[in-house]
Structure 1
Amino acid sequence: METAIGRSLYAHVIIKLLQGPIYSDDKAAWRDLEVWKSSIQEYFGKIGIDLVISEADGFARIVQPKEAEDEENPLPRLMRKQTLNYETTLLCVILRQMLEEFDIKSEGTKLFLTQKDIKEGIELFYKEQTNKSKLWKELSRPINSLMNIGVLKLTREDTVNKDNNQYEVKRIIKALVDNEKLEEIKLKLEAHANTIQSE
């Protein structure tokens, strides 16, 4: 369905999805997504993109399926894969684990952590104080990386003491790191951390 000027009534939802995930707390966009879901799925389907909606976790995103290597005329990639370094991957796994524990305790729907909370989580992987201190000093880098890909959102900033900065852990992290992947990465990170500490 289109408006008088030819623009579809759900164009704003499509644009938001191209920009990143839509969350259920964006009530207007979420409502329109639910109303026009079939039309939006059809639109993206025509260009080889899947619309994935997680009702349980309250987010929707678009995913470009991996094409077979022998497929003729493969489509260009809309979304480029981002390679995360060790520190960013470690932080991502720690946050995913903390969200899992938060959900088990049923303390609410949104997980908020201060930078101090994040540091305490990192301590489990680093026994040597020198390694912890180095990571703490550079903690802004992996935090910024996860903010850039929408995993973290700064909700309170303290310009005097960064330990008081507060972040929301966005539930899109569950799509990026599922339970099986979580366990796999944790084993690799633990092995890597042990290697670092034995040097």
Structure 2
Amino acid sequence: MRGVVYREVDEDGWTLLERHAAPVRDHFSTIGVQVVIDDVEGYAYLRNADEDDTEEPLPRLVRRRSLTYNVSLLLVLLRKRLVEFEASGGEGKLVLTRDQVVDILRLFLPDSSNEARVIDQVDTTIRKAAELGFLRQLPRQPGHWEVRRILKAYVDAQTLGDFAGKLTEYAGAHPGGDDG
């Protein structure tokens, strides 16, 4: 109940979950929790069930996390990169280097003359995204990060559309800026 189950990481747990999906869903639904299983992407997680206006609301059992601006921004930008990766026919996993993540975020961070501070800020943001399970550092490849597909469940198409609209507004309000 504390995180995401990945098919590739926990094959035995995944097989058990697939075999007993209906009773597991029934069990959790009685306490107001929905089991989400994405067979295509190979992950499963829990989320609070949608509240029904006719029933007395159940207490929140799945913890909500408030994210900093930088982490939220990184997640949306990574989700956008994941969409581009899949649209270009990218097979396998999307892997980015730390420098690529720095470049992705740099466009949206305030200008600073202190490059070391910007890099520290990005490193902190990367670590937080990894703690939340959206990035995974590749073993034996320091500085290489896999973008976990669970991000698709967290940052949906609506959020991406809203973000694109805000970027368009921002570009209109700040003419002559970078084309990003």
After TM superposition, the score normalised by the length of structure 2 is 0.81
1:79-109 per-residue CA deviation (whole Å, 9 max, x = no partner) reads: 2221212111111111111111111122222
Which one of 87, 90, 99 corresponds to residue 70 of structure 2? 87
Residues of 2 paired with 1:57 and 1:146: CA distance?
19
Map residues 55-70 of structure 1 onto 2, 5 A cutoff: 55-67=39-51
Moved over 4 A (4+): 68-71, 189-195
In structure 2, runs of 5+ residues without a counterpart are: none
The equivalent residue for 1:142 is 125
Residues of 1 paired with 2:169 and 2:23: CA distance?
47
1:42 positional shift: 1.4
Residues of 2 paired with 1:190 and 1:87: CA distance?
19
Question: In the alignment, residue 13 of structure 2 is paired with which amino acid?
Answer: A
Q: Are the aligned partners of 1:111 and 1:168 in contact in 2 as well (CA < 8 Å)?
A: yes
Which one of 29, 54, 66 corresponds to residue 45 of structure 1? 29
Give the RMSD, CA atoms, in angstroms.
2.9
Q: Are the aligned partners of 1:49 and 1:62 in contact in 2 as well (CA < 8 Å)?
A: yes
The equivalent residue for 1:168 is 146
2:135 counterpart of 1:152: yes
Residues of 2 paired with 1:89 and 1:109: CA distance?
25
- Specify whether residues 91 and 170 from structure 1 end up closer, same or farther in structure 2 by C-alpha distance, changes over 3 A only: same
1:44 positional shift: 0.8
2:108 counterpart of 1:130: no
1:145-181 per-residue CA deviation (whole Å, 9 max, x = no partner) reads: 21121111122477xxxxx511111111000101111
1:131 positional shift: 7.3
1:173-199 per-residue CA deviation (whole Å, 9 max, x = no partner) reads: 00010111112134336756977xx9x
* Sequence identity percentage: 31
Residues of 1 paired with 2:41 and 2:53: CA distance?
33
Q: Are the aligned partners of 2:46 and 2:62 in contact in 1 as well (CA < 8 Å)?
A: no
Q: SS of the residue aligned with 2:130? A: helix
The equivalent residue for 1:98 is 81
1:68 positional shift: 5.1
